[in-house]
Chain A
Amino acid sequence: MRRLILGCMAFIMWLMLTWPFNSSVGYQGIFIGIIASCFVAIFFGDYIPGISEKFLEPQRWLWAIYYIFVFLWYCFLGNLDVAYRVLHPDMPIKPGIVKVRTKLNNLIGLTILANSITLTPGTTTIEATDDGYLYVHWINVKTQDEQEATEIIVKKFEEILERIFE
């Protein structure tokens, strides 16, 4: 099953890369794409973590689309905040590395959470440990307490990611 999903994803990516099917690419291109994605799916299906039957449930996809919009909104807000700090003559920054806790166990979910925290300006994930802690570099440390920092940084993403991946 996971091989089938991986093969479909590889084939869709191939189609996007070779989209204008004019005379130079044509049906030969699609044929080679099918062979290549079958090859990838058969030989590398076991090495890709996190692909499972959960992939086919539609409500997870709806939550994923909702997550993209939430993420873009926070990304935009954070960018305005960083822009204010960059352009202010005194540079009102108060950097530090804080420790936050996450409940996510799924590897892909954890990766997306860390990448979201990094892409939201103001915070950079430095390290994720095995027992569910993230070390986050924060441009404006509001609190050094673990619980409160978790509330501010992680909660907004974690709730949606739990619905998508758990």
Chain B
Amino acid sequence: MKETISHIFLFIGLLFDLLGCIGLVRFPDVYLRLMAATKSVTLGTGLILLSVVIAGSAPVAAKAVLVLLFISVTSPTAAHALARASSVSDIKMWEGTVCDKFTEDRKRKTNEKT
């Protein structure tokens, strides 16, 4: 019973990881790719670690929980840093982009300063 539940979580986690990788290939620009690479993959990895928690013994489960905690803190922070850096260094967004308030505000501020 325990093993079946853990296998189900493992399978769903792998499915989300696969979706993240497909998104990484299919999406058109940096920001969208970053989104696919961090989010779906974080949830997928979280589900895989959850299956480890269910199947493994108590010490293993404790370490898996710690890993889960650290991944859920570091992965969005890294995504945030990369997205901000690519926006500040003027990497172009996809041509179908609707609006870009951040670049507008940033350019306005630098104009006011000079």
Contacts and interface: CB of A to CB of B under 8 A. Distances in A.
Interface of A: 13, 16-17, 19-20, 75-76, 78-79, 82-83, 86-87, 91, 93-99, 114-115, 118-122, 124-127, 135, 137, 139, 141, 144
A141 to B, nearest CB: 5
B101 A95 contact: no
Contacts of B51: none
Given A118-B80, A126-B80, A86 B39 contact: no
B63 A17 contact: yes
Interface of B: 16, 19, 22-23, 26-27, 29, 31-32, 34-36, 38-40, 42-43, 58-59, 62-63, 65-66, 72-73, 75-77, 79-80, 83-84, 87, 93-94, 96-103, 105
Given A17-B66, A115-B77, A119-B42, A127 B99 contact: no
22 contacts: A16-B62, A19-B58, A19-B62, A76-B43, A82-B19, A86-B27, A94-B96, A95-B31, A95-B98, A96-B98, A96-B99, A96-B100, A115-B77, A118-B38, A119-B38, A119-B39, A119-B72, A124-B38, A124-B79, A137-B83, A141-B99, A144-B101
A144 to B, nearest CB: 5
A119 B76 contact: yes
A97 B96 contact: no
Contacts of A96: 97-100
B93 A86 contact: no
Contacts of B26: 86, 91
A20 B43 contact: no
A87 B62 CA distance: 35
B80 A82 contact: no
Contacts of B94: 95
Contacts of A115: 72-73, 76-77, 80
Contacts of B79: 118, 124
Nearest to B58: A19
Given A79-B40, A124-B35, A114 B96 contact: no
B80 A87 contact: no
